[in-house]
């Protein structure tokens, strides 16, 4: 496919998203199935265009004066890709599979429109209703942080210290030019080309041997700050696919008792193969359906040294990676997540033994899901107190924990708070 034909395809996918309001991965998959002539390089390039357009949807629409798929993509080419008006016009020719030529108004807006007078939610490319919450969290750094949140995320991996160290992984992947992550001691960051198509890490021999896992540096830091130690009884209460479970097992050196579970059994499906590949030991407890389902963790109440709660949340801190999620988020979704966080925090607190630690993690920038959730738990449990985090990485200190962010930390927007049972 020509570059112009890829633009037409991206507009088609964006139109599908606008009409059907569904995850972008589903729309891209359906487009690929309906256009089997497109090679893997074409599909990757189209996906990159679509994701960039979703990252800059509000600001691109402001530049072009309308919120159509075509207008958003044109504005994105200027704002995100840095293309000049004549270059964009050279792609919009109407010839063969190229999009129709630019109108006079489109050419004029490309040449003259700016974001100087755009409101913050437009300049920062977020829904307007969530802006007050983000302002609470980010303060004077609101706009720089939102702009960083609209850029592409880096590609980070974590060396599996159960098998190797970081330098061994770095040497094995030298052909991919990895560099140490700025803050995480076992992390490496790989360059991603302009087209956004990163290396196929899952086919690298070292990945198949369990030498490393793909994990954002912020997630690595959150798991490390949990402070899991060999010989402890540790519960990963919202383990999902097991990314942090693997990091906990490595920190414990496979010594002690590590229990992983999740309220959604479907999310746990990948964990078994990941544990096998990494050589990590953990007891996975998969919930069964039905109202009469037993409490899988009842035998651990009052026995855990450490409970990690990587709580279900809006994922606002990962909008660099999942830009469609921010446009599908609704106030009702936030309220639902807050209720889930209350439930899981109360369950986690019952697992702690005296002196035990509860580490609460979200990938959210919204204080309602972070400090507010911890405040609520502290109000319900007088035997818990916030514990300090002594950190070298640049973070925002909050009332009860720390907030990572793309502009300040260079990571996804993870929040971490540590509570200790008296």
Convert the pLDDT of each residue in 114-166 to its tens digit. Answer: 999 999 999 999 999 999 999 999 999 999 999 999 999 999 999 999 999 99
As beta bridge partners, residue 158 has 187, 213
How high is the pLDDT of residue 182? 95
**Is-catalytic flag, 238?**
no
CATH architecture of 217-421: 3-Layer(aba) Sandwich (3.40)
pLDDT band at 290 (very low <50, low <70, confident <90, very high): low
Tell me what percent of the residues of the chain surpass a pLDDT of 90: 91
316: CB partners within 8 A, 6+ apart: 130, 134, 326, 329, 363, 364, 365, 366, 413
Task: Domain 155-214: give its CATH superfamily.
Answer: Sun protein; domain 3 (3.30.70.1170)
How high is the pLDDT of residue 280? 98
Q: Average of pLDDT values for 215-224?
A: 96
Q: Average of pLDDT values for 54-78?
A: 97
Quick check: 173 and 203 in contact, CB under 8 A?
no
Say yes or no to pLDDT of 390 above 80: no
Active-site residue among 146, 363, 374, 417? 363
Q: Domain locations in the chain?
A: 3-116, 155-214, 217-421
Quick check: 119 and 51 in contact, CB under 8 A?
no
Query: Is 310 marked as binding a ligand?
Result: yes
How much is the mean pLDDT over the chain?
95
Residue 281, number of CB atoms within 10 A of its CB: 15
User: What's the CA angle centered on 349, arms 347 and 351, to 5 degrees?
Assistant: 80
Q: Average of pLDDT values for 64-75?
A: 97
Q: Average of pLDDT values for 278-300?
A: 88
| Residue pointed to by tokens 């409490």 | 295
How high is the pLDDT of residue 292? 61
Q: Average of pLDDT values for 290-308?
A: 88
109: CB partners within 8 A, 6+ apart: 63, 64, 65
pLDDT band at 323 (very low <50, low <70, confident <90, very high): very high
Quick check: 7 and 88 in contact, CB under 8 A?
no
Q: Average of pLDDT values for 105-112?
A: 96
The enclosing H or E element of 54 equals: helix 40-55
pLDDT band at 368 (very low <50, low <70, confident <90, very high): very high
Quick check: 248 and 214 in contact, CB under 8 A?
no
Q: Average of pLDDT values for 229-248?
A: 97
How high is the pLDDT of residue 388? 86
- Alpha carbons 67 and 350: distance in angstroms, whole number: 49
């Amino acid at each position: 496919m020509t570059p112009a034909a890829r633009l037409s395809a991206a507009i088609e996918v964006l139109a599908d998203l606008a009409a059907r309001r569904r995850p972008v991965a589903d729309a891209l998959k359906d487009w690929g199935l309906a256009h089997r002539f497109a090679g893997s390089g074409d599909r990757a390039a189209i996906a990159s265009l679509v994701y960039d357009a979703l990252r800059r949807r509000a600001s691109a629409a402001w530049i072009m004066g309308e919120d159509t798929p075509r207008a958003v993509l044109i504005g994105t080419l200027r704002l995100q890709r840095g293309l000049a008006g004549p270059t964009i016009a050279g792609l919009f020719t109407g010839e063969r599979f190229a999009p129709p030529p630019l109108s006079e108004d489109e050419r004029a807006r490309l040449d003259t429109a700016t974001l100087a007078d755009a409101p913050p939610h437009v300049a920062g490319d977020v829904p307007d209703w969530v802006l007050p919450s983000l302002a609470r969290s980010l303060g004077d750094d609101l706009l720089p942080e939102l702009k960083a949140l609209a850029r592409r995320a880096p590609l980070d991996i974590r060396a599996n210290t159960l098998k190797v160290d970081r330098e061994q992984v770095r040497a094995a992947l030298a052909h991919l030019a990895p560099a140490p992550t700025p803050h995480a001691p076992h992390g490496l960051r790989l360059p991603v080309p302009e087209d956004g198509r990163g290396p196929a890490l899952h086919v690298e021999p070292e990945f198949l041997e369990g030498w490393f896992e793909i994990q954002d540096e912020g997630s690595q830091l959150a798991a490390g700050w949990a402070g899991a130690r060999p010989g402890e009884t540790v519960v990963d209460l919202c383990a999902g696919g097991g990314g942090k479970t693997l990091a906990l097992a490595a920190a414990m050196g496979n010594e002690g008792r590590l229990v992983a579970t999740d309220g959604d059994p479907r999310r746990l499906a990948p964990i078994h193969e990941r544990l096998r590949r990494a050589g990590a030991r953990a007891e996975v407890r998969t919930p069964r359906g039905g109202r009469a389902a037993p409490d899988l963790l009842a035998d651990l109440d009052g026995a855990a040294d450490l409970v990690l709660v990587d709580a279900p949340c809006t994922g606002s801190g990962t909008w660099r990676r999942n830009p469609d999620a921010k446009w599908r988020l609704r106030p009702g979704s936030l309220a639902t997540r807050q209720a889930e966080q209350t439930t899981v925090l109360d369950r986690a607190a019952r697992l702690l033994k005296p002196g035990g630690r509860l580490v609460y993690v979200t990938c959210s920038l919204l204080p309602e899901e972070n400090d507010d959730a911890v405040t609520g738990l502290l109000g319900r449990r007088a035997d818990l107190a916030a514990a300090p985090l002594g950190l070298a990485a640049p973070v925002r200190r909050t009332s009860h924990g720390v907030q990572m962010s793309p502009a300040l930390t260079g990571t996804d927007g993870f929040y971490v708070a540590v509570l200790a049972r008296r």
